[in-house]
Structure 1
Amino acid sequence: IEFDRFQQVDSKQVEDLRKQQNIGDETVFVSVSRLSNEKNIDFMIDAMAQLKEQTDKAFRLLIVGDGHQRRRLQGRIDDMNLQQHITLVGAVPPEQMAAWYRLGDAFLFASQSETQGMVILEAMAAGLPVVAVRSSGIDDVVEDGHNGYKTPAKQSLWCERVKQILDDTDLRQSLSDNALAFARDYSVEKFSKDVRLIYAETLARYHQTK
């Protein structure tokens, strides 16, 4: 990932987005996902409805992305009276994504079809702890209880972890610090350095055996 891009976000751009989305002092959760069946968006909507019943704290989930399920999902959000808690943002240009991540306090993800955890690493590069449903794409990225949480596809357990992050600001900060440090190891610069080292060691051994 381009780690530095997430450290160089213009604070005015973030503040403009806050105003655009009418965000006050509520805790902001961010999710980035195509709006399609395999991304498990309904799972998150149901969990937010459950969270609403369990807390008096203000929160908002911004779901960035578009897809053929958008109209149906918006209808479901409206039917469940969750308009104040869930916003379908729509598609965002890649060059603006760092600022959207920076809006958040934590990153939520429920897809079980991931093969790579790229959006999760990007979120961590913006300092966001992660709550995700366990899948092969996130197992090596989310260290449970260290930089976020990964749960089985059980809504009550997933929601419990989200509530922990909502309720405990010290925990959220600790997970955030660990997420940022973890993502730094996946930077383009670190990856390039590691690759150069591997080639150098391989060539050295080759010449030693000749």
Structure 2
Amino acid sequence: MPILKSELPNIKMVAWQHNEFDVYIKNYYKRFVNDYLLGVKQADLVVCLTSADLIKYKNINNNSTYIYNPVTIQNTNISNLNSKNIIFVGRLILEQKGLDYLINIGKALDNGWRILVAGDGNDEKKFRHLIAKNKLQEKIILKGALKGKELSDLYSSGSIFISTSRWEGFGLVITEAMASGLPIISFKNNGPNEILKSGEYGILIKSNDVNNFTESLKELMEEKEKREYYQQKGLERIQDFKIEIILNKWSKSLRRIKD
């Protein structure tokens, strides 16, 4: 960004952030923190994904805003919540996505419940090894990377959606699951906390507390009325992520820096 800004001074620069501020600082750009912060400071507009991150970016560049990612999945087949399928969708990255947590959760499943996992990634081989090592082949089922109708059908086949990520800039799959009528249970980090509004629209569990996560999951498994409650809350919340609303926010923000 600093180089581009110096070479193209008359071009408006938008710094669109796709992950948490702290993840950029402590992980992705930890060797280039000053360059990253200078780029943020020089941008004509900074767009992040959550209100929590907005506070941090405002301290660097006052011309900052937050705009959600839109839900684009087309799914008119809302789950009836009758199956014993728990859905997990995401890249198979062991640490970030908390796949080790998923193993511990899988061990606690009974009465025919199972976790259907959609996604691929660099740690797929390690994850398969953990599943086999813990004899969970009947409880954690890998479906591979799905998209389109296959992904929509997977969401609709579930009764619960879980997110075990240690960090998540937003969590688009959570909104996709909500649009399909799935109640959500997630560890509390930036993205899920924003989407679920601190627990109003889904169940949030303190980070790393696998025991509490498992107990809360069991309650959802046992109580269909509770699943139905969070299904309705999710369908309410998902209206905020319609593509027309998101495009309108982008349009207003870009017009502001143009003028």
Q: What TM-score do you get using the length of structure 2 for normalisation?
A: 0.63
Which structure would you say has the larger Rg?
A: 2
The one-letter code matched in structure 2 to 1:27 is K
- CA–CA distance in structure 1, aligned partners of residues 236 and 72 of structure 2: 11
Q: Which structure is higher in RCO with an 8 Å CA cutoff and minimum separation 6?
A: 1
Structure 2 segments unaligned to the other structure (5+ residues): 1-69
| Map of 2:105 onto structure 1 | 47
CA distance in 2, matches of 1:45, 1:179: 26
5 Å-filtered alignment, 1:107-118, equals 107-118=161-172
1:26 deviation in Å?
A: 4.8
> Could you tell me which residue of structure 1 aligns to residue 46 of structure 2?
none
* Aligned counterpart for 1:132 among listed residues 172, 182, 186: 186
Decide whether aligned partners of structure 1 residues 57 and 147 sit closer, same or farther in structure 2, where only a CA change above 3 A counts.
Answer: farther
AA at the equivalent of 1:29: I
Query: Alpha-carbon deviation of 1:133?
Result: 0.9
Output the amino acid matched with 1:6: N
**Structure 1 residue 144 displacement after superposition:** 5.2
CA-to-aligned-CA distance 1:160-195 (integer Å, 9 cap, x gap): 111111010001011111111111221113334666
Q: 1:6 aligns with which of 59, 75, 81?
A: 75
**Alpha-carbon offset, residue 157 of structure 1:** 0.7
**In the alignment, structure 1 residue 30 sits paired with structure 2 residue 84:** no
User: 1:189 aligns to what?
Assistant: 244
Rounded Cα–Cα distance in structure 2 between residues aligned with 1:95 and 1:58 = 26
User: What is the CA distance between 1:97 and its match in structure 2?
Assistant: 1.8
Superimposed CA distance per residue, residues 96-137 of structure 1 (whole angstroms, 9 cap, x where no aligned partner):
322211111111111122111211111101111111111111
One-letter amino acid of the counterpart of residue 178, structure 1: K
Assess if the C-alpha contact under 8 Å between 2:90 and 2:97 holds in 1.
yes
1:145–1:175 contact (8 Å) kept in structure 2: no
Q: Is the 8 A contact 1:26 1:57 kept in 2?
A: no
Match of 1:156 in 2: 211
Higher helix share: 1
Count of residues paired in the alignment = 182
The answer for unaligned runs of 5 or more in structure 1 is 15-24
1:166 and 2:221 are equivalent in the alignment? yes
Contact 1:33 1:64 in 2 (8 A): yes
Taking the aligned partners of 2:219 and 2:142, their CA distance within structure 1 comes to 24
Report the RMSD for the aligned CA atoms in angstroms: 2.5
CA contact (8 A) 1:3 1:125 kept: no
Letter in 1 for 2:135: N
Percentage of matched positions with identical amino acids: 24
Q: What secondary structure, in the 3-state scheme, does the structure 2 residue paired with 1:127 have?
A: coil
Matches within 5 A, 1:193-204: none
Q: What is the deviation of 1:147?
A: 2.6
